[in-house]
Amino acid sequence: MEAGRLRHKVDVEKLSDVPDGQGGQTRTWTKALTTWADIRPIDSHEGFYAGQNYPGVTHAVRMRYSTEIKLPCRIKFGSRYLSIIGVRDRQERGEELMLMCSERQS
């Protein structure tokens, strides 16, 4: 992995159940980790990745491998949010992840 290409600082958020103060729980997004990533907008025809179609994909995100990234997760990139649609361990070595994402409103 070329670390120099990981120039975007991002937060990976996951859905968590948190106490609501009244004995119940509420689902909310919580930060799982902060890391560096390479975020690249893609054309709709590039949504075909590794023989799989990911409809609605707007961005490809490359980052170091992390066990924290499991669906459902999203990436907070500045004031923007990228919903993670697909996760792939590139080269199956536990070193690098390729995330297929769709930009969403908060």
Give the model confidence (pLDDT) of 15-67 as tens digits: 998 888 898 999 999 999 999 999 999 865 554 554 455 668 889 999 999 98
Residue range(s) defining the domain that contains residue 65: 3-104
pTM: 0.78
The token pair that represents 105 in the structure block: 């409103």
Q: Is the dihedral of CA 55, 60, 61, 67 positive or negative?
A: positive
Q: What is the mean pLDDT of the segment spanning 62-83?
A: 92
Residue 12 has pLDDT above 70, yes or no: yes
- Which CATH number fits the domain that encloses residue 54? 2.40.10.270
Domain count, the chain: 1
CB 61 within 8 A of CB 99: yes
